[in-house]
Chain A
């Protein structure tokens, strides 16, 4: 039974691992905020808070309970997703999270589209023109893109494309044109790694015996590259990139701030700068939760891509 097989061997262990990651993360957050000296109530209180206000905050945070009870309450809140109400915004934290996550998701989908549309042709182009000028320029661009800080790339693109040429909006989420710059910057790292992986994967496959046999069958070169070689080379690349998509969640913090994008990253950041305690816990737990979910989906996706794994 193939289905039960992949369920037990792939999905369940991943689920458990994901749950453990989440537990470790919320524990790390808990430990950071309560255990290593300092008074979280003081840290999260407004600078001009009175002693009574701090005391009230302490009670509302459950800080007057013993530490293990605090941990229990904390875990219960995390599991049920009841993150309370944002003091600063005056709305339920879970509502805010869903709204902003939707915006982040739109940006992430844009970035995935950019990656596929840009990176796959570039990787194939580099491999089919191996050891030529085309190949080395594509590789050089990829190497630079891997090292470029995304906040810097954002600012440079805003300066040139938005301010200099006036082609695209500088910031904000207004209409399709506003998706282009942030989506491209978010995709840039993924584009670079797909190009590099796809190129070397294609080179390996173009050297394989089955590509040789395909040539011996008289398959035209175009089909050799786009059908036989790409289909094989793309499997590990897709597996890797689906895992990489998880980095969109942390990558988007910086990008959403530069482009004033109302997403989860920007929400987390504003929660931290305004010291909105409930919102911080909520957004960060959500961000890690989504990271884990994307990783999990990537694993499952990968195991279904390869017929050798899929069928057995």
Chain B
């Protein structure tokens, strides 16, 4: 059985202009110790998928509409808030996007780092201090003892993100939801952080969902990749398959827009047009109006998932022979 199995998950946001179907029938799975890369443009519903799994939709506008989230044999959609908060941070951790605003400015690093250990593992006193210091060295923060007493504003962005990473790993969770954890870091810091994240993951054997809009980053960290477009997952396959045999036109377009390392190109192709507004989703395929291979059928009926190969599915009519 998989560590996480999400089936047909839907989450809506109620806004003035209408209901935003931010997550619309998403199904995915993560095996223990495996990394699933979740890729898509901003606003495609990647972060909302993560928040839905953590059952922390924005209040009061977010609504979990339906679906199943089987985590470690338990359906999170049926879990009470109490059960959820016991699970968050212990079995299910999250690394948010922005290290600058994610740490509470009025508490010391140590205080915040020790919080999950105190709450979930009931640690206190000397062992707690010791564990916090270990965690900081785990994420390669020197002078751990001194850093514990410092406040977030005294640390650099990269260091803060590593603290957040240490916090997520502190209770050895089974699954980490990393929501674009490197977007606000510069390139070198980004690379260091990714390396660190992977090494902690393999050391602790955690499953991970790595959310990013950057296919290059996803290629480096993921075992499997899910491509998300306008609230739906359009293609899901092993990382190798995604990059070598992309089956959905959107995935191909995304790959074409990455700068190749081995040769110079004058201009990178970009995808024309905009994704559909999420409160006004057209019938048929959501990518139809930007797709180079669009057929009349695409505008009438949304394509069901087509099996391309072993563990490789894509929602596209091109793969149906008729």
- Which A residues have a C-beta under 8 Å from some C-beta of B? 131, 208-221, 223, 228, 231-232, 235, 306-308, 311-312
Contacts and interface: CB of A to CB of B under 8 A. Distances in A.
Contacts of B88: 215-218
B104 interface: yes
Given A221-B85, A231-B106, 4 more contacts: A214-B115, A217-B167, A219-B115, A311-B151
A213 B119 contact: no
Nearest to A205: B104
Contacts of B102: 209-210, 212-213
B89 interface: yes
A306 to B, nearest CB: 7
13 contacts: A209-B98, A209-B101, A209-B102, A211-B104, A213-B103, A215-B88, A216-B89, A218-B85, A218-B119, A219-B116, A232-B104, A232-B105, A311-B153
B104 A218 contact: no
B119 A210 contact: no
Contacts of B106: 231-232, 235, 306-307
A252 to B, nearest CB: 33
A228 B151 contact: no
A220 B98 contact: no
A210 B167 CA distance: 13
Given A212-B56, A212-B96, A307 B85 contact: no
A308 B87 contact: no
Interface in B100-155: 101-107, 115-116, 119-120, 151, 153-154
A231 B151 CA distance: 14
Q: Top 5 nearest A-B pairs by Cβ distance?
A: A218-B89, A217-B89, A218-B88, A209-B101, A210-B104
Contact of B151 (A208, A216, A308): A308
B56 A217 contact: no
A220 B85 contact: yes
Contacts of A211: 104
Contacts, number: 80
- Per DSSP, chain A at the interface is helix
A208 B106 CA distance: 13
B56 A218 contact: no
A217 B54 CA distance: 10
A215 B103 contact: no
Contacts of A215: 56, 85, 88
B30 interface: no
A213 B96 contact: yes
Interface of B: 54, 56, 60, 81, 85-90, 93-94, 96, 98, 101-107, 115-116, 119-120, 151, 153-154, 164, 167
Given A209-B98, A209-B102, A213-B96, A308 B85 contact: no
A212, A216, A308, A312 interface centre (most CB from chain B within 10 Å): A216
B90 A218 contact: yes
A156 B151 CA distance: 49
Contacts of B86: 218
Contacts of B87: 218
A209 B98 CA distance: 8
Contact of A216 (B81, B96, B105, B120): B96
B51 to A, nearest CB: 9
B116 A217 contact: yes
B101 A219 contact: no
A68 B134 CA distance: 73
Contacts of B115: 214, 217, 219
Nearest to A232: B106
B184 to A, nearest CB: 11
Contacts of A209: 96, 98, 101-102
Contacts of A210: 101-105
A76 B88 CA distance: 68
Contacts of B60: 131
A232 B102 CA distance: 13
Q: Which of B60, B96, B115 has the most CB of A within 10 A?
A: B115
Nearest to A213: B102
Contacts of B90: 218
A264 to B, nearest CB: 36
Given A218-B119, A220-B119, A311 B96 contact: no
Nearest to B81: A221
A308 B167 contact: no
Contact of A308 (B54, B116, B153, B164): B153
A218 B117 CA distance: 10
Contacts of A221: 81, 85
A207 to B, nearest CB: 9
A220 B87 CA distance: 11
Contacts of A216: 54, 56, 88-89, 93-94, 96
B119 A214 contact: no
A247 to B, nearest CB: 27
Nearest to A216: B94
Contacts of A306: 106
Given A217-B88, A217-B89, A217-B167, A307 B96 contact: no
A308 B105 contact: yes
